[in-house]
Amino acid sequence: MTDKLNIKMLVMDVDGVLTDGGIIYDSCGNESKRFNVHDGAWLKIWQRLGLQTAVITGRQSVAVDRRMTELGIDFVYQNAKVKIGVFENLVKESGINPQEMAYIGDDVMDLPVLRRVGYAVTVPDAIDEVKSHCDYITKKTGGSGAVGELIVSMIKAMGMFDKAMERYLA
């Protein structure tokens, strides 16, 4: 990781990044997803540092609606079949330069966005075509704290870790 990192927004895929990629349907057809609480805690720390968050996911899910609302994610785009178009809309809406954005994704539909941002990230079980276009590959897998790991590494590289920890070490 570079020590010149200047990221103002973290943009995330959901399935395979914030979750393990599995989709569970109960006997009534209701969908469930499992999110990692450590990712959620670090996302709140990221936000308290004045940094923004966004989600771009190809699926539509009530579980995603609920979790992103709980976390206060700034921009949530579901049912994004062509993620680069949605990403360009996010750039306009947020006013943030793509070079000041990090994106974490794991599959082929994430490639156009990964190639557009300043800091491209993936998880270890991503497809090889994605890995070859990324600046950083987390050690943790999706749904197992990969986003939290990424946030810790970025705020350290941006010199913000001590500020992030003040609340907990005071």
Would you state the pLDDT for residue 3?
53
Query: Which CATH number covers residue 22?
Result: 3.40.50.1000
Q: Which residue has the higher pLDDT, 79 or 3?
A: 79
How many domains would you assign to the chain? 1
In a domain, 4, yes or no: no
Q: Which domain, by its residues, includes 43?
A: 9-162
Strand boundaries in 35-118, DSSP class E: 52-56, 75-77, 101-104
**pLDDT tens, 2-11?**
458 999 999 9
Backbone φ and ψ for 38, nearest 5 degrees, come out as -65, -40
pTM here? 0.95
In a domain, 43, yes or no: yes
**pLDDT tens, 18-40?**
999 998 999 999 899 999 999 99
In a domain, 1, yes or no: no
Would you state the pLDDT for residue 1?
47
As a whole number of angstroms, the distance between CA 114 and CA 105 comes to: 7
- Burial class, 110, CB count within 10 angstroms (exposed 0-12 / middle 13-18 / buried 19+): buried
Query: Do residues 21 and 107 make contact, with C-beta atoms less than 8 angstroms apart?
Result: no
In a domain, 129, yes or no: yes
**pLDDT tens, 103-145?**
999 999 999 999 999 999 999 999 999 999 999 999 999 999 9
In a domain, 15, yes or no: yes
